[in-house]
A = this chain, B = another copy of it.
Amino acid sequence: MKEQIPFIDLRQSESRAPLYRQIYEAVRLAILRGEFASKTRLPSTRELARNLGVSRITVVNAYEQLLAEGYLIGKIGAGTFVAPALPDDLLQTGAEKGERSAAGTNPPAPLSPFGRKLLSGDVQSARVHAGTQFRPFQNGLTAIDLFPFEIWWRIAAKYHKNPPRSILGYGDPRGFYPLRQAVAAHLGSARGVNCSAEQVVITSGAQQALDLTARIFLTENDAVLVEDPCYREACGSFAATGARIVPVEVDEEGLNPAKIPGAGARAKLVYATPSHQYPLGATMNLARRLALLDWAEQNNAWIIEDDYNSEYRYAGRPLASLQGLDKAGRVIYVGTFSKTIFPGLRIGCAVVPPELVDVYGGARALGDVHSAAFDQAVLAEFIAEGHFARHVRRMRLLYEHRQRALVAACEKHLKGRLEVKKAAAGMHLVGWLPEGVDDRRVADKAAEKGIKVSPVSSYSLKKKRRGGLVLGYTAFDERQIEEGVRRLSEAL
A residues bordering B, Cβ < 8 Å?
A: 21, 24, 61, 64-65, 67-70, 83, 85, 87, 90-91, 93-95, 97-99, 101-102, 106-109, 111-115, 118-119, 123-134, 140-141, 144, 149, 152-153, 156-157, 160-161, 163, 165-174, 203-205, 207-208, 211, 215-219, 222, 233, 236-237, 240-241, 268-269, 283, 285-287, 290-291, 293-294, 297-298, 300-302, 315-317, 319, 325-330, 342-346, 356, 358-359, 361-363, 365-375, 424
Contact = CB atoms under 8 A, between A and B. Distances in A.
Given A132-B169, A173-B128, A374 B344 contact: yes
State the copy count for this chain.
Answer: 2
Contact of A171 (B132, B156, B171): B132
A9 B211 CA distance: 51
Which of A102, A107, A127, A240 gathers most chain B CB within 10 Å? A127
A160 to B, nearest CB: 4
A268 B160 contact: no
Contacts of A102: 327-329
Nearest to A124: B362
B327 A101 contact: yes
Contacts of A286: 68-70, 87, 90
22 contacts: A83-B287, A87-B290, A90-B291, A93-B290, A98-B327, A106-B328, A108-B330, A109-B269, A109-B301, A109-B302, A112-B219, A115-B217, A115-B359, A118-B359, A123-B362, A126-B365, A130-B172, A149-B160, A207-B366, A240-B366, A368-B368, A375-B375
B112 A216 contact: yes
Contacts of A217: 109, 111-112, 115
Contacts of A236: 365-366
Contacts of A129: 172, 174, 361
Per CB-CB distance, the 10 closest pairs between chain A and chain B, nearest first, are A98-B327, A132-B169, A344-B373, A125-B365, A372-B372, A64-B316, A101-B328, A115-B216, A208-B368, A204-B368
A170 B372 contact: no
Contacts of A316: 61, 64-65, 67-68
Nearest to A207: B369
A484 to B, nearest CB: 17
Contacts of A167: 344
A170 B359 contact: no
Contact of A328 (B98, B141, B207): B98
A246 to B, nearest CB: 14
B70 A112 contact: no
A359 B169 contact: no
A222 to B, nearest CB: 7
Contacts of A366: 123, 125, 207, 211, 233, 236-237, 240
Contacts of A240: 366
B315 A61 contact: yes
Contacts of A166: 131-132
Which of A94, A157, A327, A365 gathers most chain B CB within 10 Å? A365
